[in-house]
Amino acid sequence: MTTAIDALAGALSAAKQEIAKVIIGQDKVIDSALIAIFTNHHALIEGVPGVAKTLLVRTLAHVLGCDFGRIQFTPDLMPADIIGTHVFNIQKQSFALVKGPIFTTFLLADEINRAPAKTQSALLQSMQERAVTIDRYTHPLPDNFTVFATQNPIEQQGTYPLPEAQVDRFMLKIPMGHPDREEEMQLAQRMLGDQAPEAVLKSGAVRAVLTPDTLMALRRQLAAIRIKDELVAYLVDIVRQTRRHQGVLVGAGPRATQALLLSSRAAAALAGRDFVTPDDIKGLAVPVLGHRIILRPEYEIEGLAIEEVIAQILQEVTVPR
């Protein structure tokens, strides 16, 4: 393993250790979030209230040395509430830009589907170009700008489904479930003392292991992780098979191919390897492809799940030796 990959793997391991001081369990969720960050992409986190979605993103920002911002999406939220606007200053007799909360590094778009499409679309340019246009002037966002959007999977009354163009901009959809019994017992015991997760984060016991500049430098090391041509072909065939499956109305597009390729490299780095394996690709198939696939109505009525369809697709594509 090269020195560069060693540094990347070491930084990822150190970040996970610090995050574990606050977030109990949720190892797969933490790995997925780190994959999104280290590939410079965005993630959609889906989970019921109270499973620490907000706390996870705040902790990630702290550990990686980045600014954190949060927007609570509501039906009456307007695009200007997100990106900002020009306000007239009476004393100076001129307009001044009042920047919105989008001007941060790690942005938590909380319950993004609570706002209508017009408001959701305020994030499109920032997610694609890392820039915001206000009154014909374009303002850059930090190079590490990352959106973590959350959704509640069980309470859909008064919500607005995300447009396909916006969903496709999220590299991963990360399900965040309840902790198991042992983890919940550990949480309960910590709440009885002074080791509650929120208190630990505020106490200074969690250290920042990176800075924005070192995060960018480490991100470039992913290019050193090898992926064989046979695995690239395997990955492409998986994505293309989503467009041919009889139960799929709309399959994944080329952006999914890019996402699966980049995320599998990051998964290899998390495992401490400088090469990608078929299991890296298989393990990320559902998080990368699941939110990009639309099933045919008749299959949805029969109760066919996206995960089942992707499992069938993985069986149909030959794994390279």
Short-list 104, 110, 14, CA closest to 64 = 14
Average pLDDT, the chain: 91
Residue 127 has pLDDT above 60, yes or no: yes
Dist CA 75 CA 91 (whole Å): 34
230-259 mean pLDDT: 94
In order of start, what are the domains of the chain with their CATH numbers?
A: 3-222 (3.40.50.300), 225-321 (1.10.8.80)
CA distance 35 to 16: 12
3-class DSSP state of 34? helix
68: left (phi over 0), alpha (psi -120 to 50) or beta: beta
State yes or no: pLDDT of 1 exceeds 60: no
**Pairing mode, if any, of strands 42-46 and 94-99?**
unpaired
pLDDT digit string (tens) for 181-200?
999 999 999 888 888 888 89
User: From CA 203, how far away is CA 240, in angstroms rounded?
Assistant: 49
**74-91 burial, b if ≥16 CB within 10 A, otherwise e?**
eeebebebbbbeeeeeee
pLDDT in tens, 16-40: 999 999 999 899 999 999 999 999 9
Q: Is 318 exposed, middle or buried (0-12, 13-18, 19+ CB in 10 A)?
A: exposed
CB 106 within 8 A of CB 62: no
